[in-house]
Amino acid sequence: MLPESALPARPQGLLTRLFARVPGHWRAPLIRLAAVWLALIVLFLGDWRDMAWQWWESSTYNHILLIPPILGWLAMQRGAETAQIVPRAWWPGLIVTGGAVFLWVLGDFSGLNLARQLAVVVMLQGAALALLGPRVAAAQLFPLGYMLTLVPFGDELIPFLQMITAKLTMLLLALSQIPATIDGVFITTRFGYFEVAEACSGVKFLIAMLAYGALVSNVCFASWRRRAGFMALSLVVPVLANGVRAWGTVYIASWRGIEFAASFDHIFYGWVFFALVMGLVMAVGWRFFDRKIDAPLVDGAAIAASPLLARLERMALPTTAALGGIAALALAGLAWSAAASRIAAPMPDLIALQTVPGWQFDNGSPNSEWHPLHGGADHRLVARYTDGKGHVVDMSFALYAAQGDGKEAGGFGQGALPLGSRWAWEEPGPGFADARSDVIQAPGPIHRLAVTWLRSGDLLTGSNTRLKLANMEDRLLLRARPTMTLILSAEAGEGAPPPDESIRSFLAATGPIAPWMDRTARVR
C-alpha cells in the first residue's frame, strides 16, 4: 500500500484556488461578510425577489442584470490595495445599517417599494462598513456606492420625460416645417395622431446611461471635473436623443405612413439608434480620458497614511458585537413591521352614496368608459351626478382600513389613471384646493378632468407623498386610522360646460369636502 505522501494530489476547485490566494487576515472577515449578506438577503427575500423580477421582466431594468458581475470586477480591480488593509469591525457601520432598517420599516408601512428596495441594498453596504471598517470602505468606496444601481428606479420620472419629449418633438417638427398641434403628450398632424406614451418617454435609456456613465466616469477619468462633465453628457444626451427619436417617427410617418413608422421605430430606434447614441457619447468622452490604463483605481498609500481614517478607525468594536448588532437591528425591524401590519382601522359594515342638494343620480354613460382603480380598498362607491343644467360629474370613492403592499390609495397605477388602461395622462389640470388635478385623454380624442383628494385622519391632500408620510406616522405609532380617496371627474365635450366648472359647481353643493368624505365613510 502506498504511503499517504505518495498518493496523487486531488485537483482543487476554482473557488478553493481563489480562496487560497486570499491573504490569511482576510479569510475570516470575507466569510463573515458573505454569511451576513446571505442572511440579510434571506430575511428580506421578498424585496430581493421583487427586484430580481423587475430586472428580468422589465426592459427598463434589464441592464441591472449586468451590475452584480460588474461589482465583482470593480472589487477585484481594487483587490491588491485592499488586501494590504487589516479589516476591523466598526460601530458607525451599525448606524448605517440601523438607518437602512428604519427606512425599510417606513417603506413597508407606506407600501413604498422604492424605499424598501433601497433599504435592503443599503443594509448590505452598512454591514460591510460594520464588519470591515473605514479603511476598507475607502478602498472599495466606488463598488460599495455603485451597489445603489441595483435599485430599480425611474418610473417617477416618466410624466416629466413624456412632456420633455413631446416639446422637443414639436420643436423639431416646426424646424422641419411639418404642421402639428399638441395637447399635453398628444400630437396631431394631418397624417396621424401620435401619443408620447410611457414606453416612449426615454426613461429606459436614461436609467441605463446613468449607470453606464457612472461606471465610465470612475474607471476612465481621474479628474472630478471631467467626471462631472461626462455624467452631465450621459444625462442630457439620452433625453435629447429620445426627442429626435420621437420626431423621426412622426417624420417617417409623414411620407411612409404610421404602420411603417411604428415598425421602423421598434426595429431601428429600439435596437440601433440608442447603441449609436451610446457610441457617440463614448466617442466624445474618449479624447478626455485622463486615467492611464495601468494606473491603480485607488491610492493604497494615501489610505494607509490618512489621519482622518486613523481617527475613524479608533471607533472599533468586537466582531461578535458587530454581528450581534446587525442581527438585532434586522430582527427588530421585521418585528416592528409585523406588529404594525396587524393594525387596521375599524370599518363600517357598509357605506352609501350621499345625496347632494340640487344634484341627482344619473344612469347615463360617458363617451369613453372610465374606471378608476382602488386596489385593496375595503369599500368603494361609484356614481354619476347631474344638476339638470348640463353639469355632469362622475364620482369614485374608496375607503381603506390600512395602507400597505397591494393597498395603496395613491400608489403608482392607482386612482384616476389606472396602469394599462386606454386613458393616458395629458397635462396638469386647473388648480383645486388640497387636491391633485389632471387632464387625461382617451382615443378620439376624448378629454377628461380628474381631481383627486386623499384623506387620512385630519389630513386632506392631493399629494401622494404627504399621504405616505401620514401613513408612516400612523404605523410608527401603531395608530389605526382609515384612509380615503375621492375622485371627481368631468368629461369635456362640444356644447358641454367646461369640466372644471362642473366640478366646482358640485363642490359648492357638497360644502367643505373633508367633512363630506368623512360622512361618506361613516367614520365621524
Q: What is the pLDDT at residue 486?
A: 96
Give CA–CA dist 30/19, Å, rounded: 10
Handedness of CA 404, 406, 409, 413 (dihedral sign): positive
Residue with cell 426627442: 243
Please state the length of the chain.
Answer: 524
What letter does residue 407 receive in the DSSP assignment?
B
Q: All 3 cell numbers of residue 51?
A: 427586484
Closest CA to 309 of 317, 320, 301, 319: 301
H-run or E-run covering 15:
helix 14-20
Triad 424, 157, 460: Cα angle to 5°: 75
DSSP state letters, 166-213: HHHHHHHHHHTT---EEETTEEEETTEEEE--GGGSSHHHHHHHHHHH
Distances (CA, A) of 408 to 120, 128, 454: 21, 33, 11
Coil, strand or helix: which one is 94?
Answer: helix
Handedness of CA 206, 207, 210, 213 (dihedral sign): negative
Q: CB within 8 A of 270, min separation 6: which ones?
A: none
Phi, psi of 89 (to 5 degrees): -65, 145
Q: What is the pLDDT at residue 180?
A: 86
Reading the chain (524 residues) residue by residue, the pLDDT tens digits are: 445 444 455 555 555 666 667 787 889 999 999 999 999 999 999 999 999 999 998 888 989 999 999 999 999 999 889 999 999 999 999 999 999 999 999 888 877 888 999 999 999 999 999 999 999 999 999 999 999 999 998 877 888 888 898 899 999 988 988 888 887 778 888 877 787 877 778 888 899 999 999 999 999 999 999 999 999 999 999 999 888 888 888 888 877 767 766 666 666 666 677 788 888 888 898 889 988 888 888 888 899 899 999 999 999 999 999 999 999 999 999 999 888 877 788 888 889 888 899 999 988 877 778 899 998 899 999 999 999 888 999 999 999 988 777 788 877 778 888 877 788 888 889 999 999 999 998 877 889 999 999 999 889 999 988 998 888 888 888 888 899 999 999 999 887 899 999 999 999 999 999 999 999 998 76
Distance of CA 424 to the CA centre of its chain: 20
User: Within 13 Å of residue 169, how many CA atoms lie on the same side as its CB?
Assistant: 30
Residue type, 120: V
Give CA–CA dist 440/185, Å, rounded: 10
Q: What is the pLDDT at residue 266?
A: 65
Provide the angle, in degrees to the nearest 10, between the axes of the packed helices 203-220 and 158-175. 100
Distances (CA, A) of 170 to 92, 252, 378, 411: 52, 15, 44, 31
Q: What is the pLDDT at residue 29?
A: 94
Coil, strand or helix: which one is 385?
Answer: strand
Q: Where are the alpha helices (DSSP H) in 192-273?
A: 203-220, 224-256, 258-264
DSSP state letters, 403-446: -BTTB-TT-TT-BTS-TTSS-EEEEE----TTSEEEEEEETTTE
Residue with cell 427619436: 245
User: Within 13 Å of residue 322, how many CA atoms lie on the same side as its CB?
Assistant: 25
Handedness of CA 136, 149, 224, 281 (dihedral sign): positive
In the sheet where 192-195 sits, what is the strand order?
A: 181-183, 186-189, 192-195
Residue type, 216: V
Contact 391, 360 (CB under 8 A): no
